[in-house]
Amino acid sequence: MVSWLAKHYSSIIKLDRITWLKRDYIERGVVYRIEPMPGFRRGSGKEIALPKPVIPRGVDASEILLTRRSIRSFKNKPVELGVLSSLLHIAFGVTKWEEGVYGHDLYPLRAFPSAGALQPVEIYVSANNVAGLPQGIYRYIFINHSLDPLKLGDYSKTLSEIALDQDHVAEAPIDIIITIFWARSAWKYGSRGYKYSLLDAGFAGENLYIASKILGLGTCAVGAFFEEELCELLGVDCVSEIPVLIMPVGYPSEEGWVF
């Protein structure tokens, strides 16, 4: 019997090869800038300024890495807005402003590495049970550490249904959704920017694991979801911007399912 992988191998490789570098292109000095560099997302003017993040010091990084696990069961306990602020800053926030990058007077560098520092990773927050914040879906505006409300209401069950009815998505007080606005990377790297953007999203997801552990929270990376439905919920086009991960976050329950 021909295995599934063998049957579909050619199509899979063709997809990946679209992003491959070719030596003759490099030798000719081709630059893959396909359009003006897309700018960083700005808010709608209705942003909610987040409290100043509180950064725990003296954390044992080795202990954090060695004890990190995926958490799929959460206490019925709200997350404070200040804790959410710290979580977003530690995992995804701007940690340095660099002068003169890509012609900008000041250019943001974030808490995770990014190919060419192009920052294609976008962060959305479904606030299901956050003390001091109305329920709803927000875009995290990392350049000024604020939340821009996209739609208000309880979308936890909707997200769970989109994620193939995974209960922990509905039960978590917060769901972080990571997308890649890979058009920003394509400005410099062409089709290879897609591959780089996925790597960036992986770095960001691991950062969320670490930041959650530092703050006494837990999370889990969910990759199974209906892309088109999630794009519709977020209001993105599923072409230039694509969802990559849903990561429920909350206080771990004592009987939490981990691995």
pLDDT digit string, tens, across residues 130-159: 999 999 999 999 999 999 999 999 999 999
| pLDDT reported for residue 42 | 85
pLDDT band at residue 57 using 50, 70 and 90 as cut-offs: confident
Domain that holds residue 235: 4-250
* pLDDT at residue 61, as a whole number: 86
Residue-wise DSSP of 17-86: HTT---HHHHHTT--B--SSPPPPP---S-PEEPPPP----S--HHHHHHH--BB--B-S-PEEHHHHHH
In a domain, 243, yes or no: yes
pTM (2 d.p.): 0.90
- Per the prediction, the chain carries an average pLDDT of 89
Q: Regarding predicted confidence, which is higher, 20 or 171? A: 171
How many structural domains is the chain composed of? 1
CB 200 within 8 A of CB 120: yes
Here the tokens at position 7 are: 């049957």
**Residue 4 pLDDT exceeds 80:** no
Q: Domain for residue 170, yes or no?
A: yes
> Is residue 106, in this structure, part of any structural domain at all?
yes
Q: Say whether pLDDT at 24 is over 70.
A: no
Q: pLDDT per residue over 88-97, tens digit each? A: 999 999 999 9
Residue 30: per-residue pLDDT: 47
Residue 201 located in a structural domain: yes
What is the share, in percent, of the chain residues with pLDDT greater than 70?
85
The reply to whether 120 falls in a domain is: yes
88 neighbors 103 (Cβ within 8 angstroms): no
Which neighbouring-strand residues pair with 178?
Answer: 123, 245
| pLDDT category of residue 172 using cuts at 50, 70 and 90 | very high
Cα 34 to Cα 39, 117, 148, 203: the distances in Å are 14, 17, 29, 25
243 pLDDT above the threshold of 90 = yes
> Is residue 256 situated within a structural domain?
no
Rounded CA-CA distance 115/204 in Å is 12
Residue 179's pLDDT band, with cuts at 50, 70 and 90, is very high
Residue predicted with more confidence, 64 or 163: 163
pLDDT tens-digit map of 207-218: 999 999 999 999
pLDDT at 256 over 80: no
Closest of 221, 212, 222, 205 to residue 165, by C-alpha: 222
- Here the CATH number for the domain that contains residue 179 is 3.40.109.10
pLDDT of residue 129: 97
Taking residues 40-69, what's their average pLDDT? 90
Higher pLDDT, 67 or 127: 127
| Residue 97 DSSP code | E
In a domain, 122, yes or no: yes
Q: Is the pLDDT of residue 203 over 60?
A: yes
In a domain, 18, yes or no: yes
